[in-house]
């Protein structure tokens, strides 16, 4: 994944999280991922989030992984 793809992922996660009214901490807890991991994915620091992490985040947001990457 390139930088462009990561920015799309981070923006989509932020938008979906905001739509649900979740804070980063809320989403991290609901997705069962570390807060720091979520923060790094949202900010694009993590270049290639694992499929497992993306799956947990997507499920917590009620969307598919595909929704987060397009």
Write the pLDDT tens digit of every residue in 21-61. 999 999 999 999 999 999 999 998 887 889 999 999 999 99
Residue showing tokens 């009620």: 62
Contact between 58 and 41 under an 8 Å Cβ cutoff? The reply is no
Contact between 51 and 33 under an 8 Å Cβ cutoff? The reply is no
What local confidence, expressed as pLDDT, does residue 3 receive? Answer: 53
What is the distance between the alpha carbons of residues 24 and 4, in angstroms, rounded to a whole number?
A: 22
Classify domain 3-69 at the CATH topology level.
434 Repressor (Amino-terminal Domain) (1.10.260)
Domain map (residue ranges) of the chain: 3-69
């Amino acid at each position: 994944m390139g930088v462009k793809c990561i920015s799309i992922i981070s923006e989509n996660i932020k938008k979906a999280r905001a739509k649900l009214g979740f804070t980063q901490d809320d989403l991290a807890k609901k997705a069962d991922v570390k807060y720091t991991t979520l923060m790094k994915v949202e900010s694009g620091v993590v270049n290639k989030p694992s499929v497992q992490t993306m799956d947990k985040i997507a499920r917590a947001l009620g969307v598919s992984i595909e929704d987060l990457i397009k």
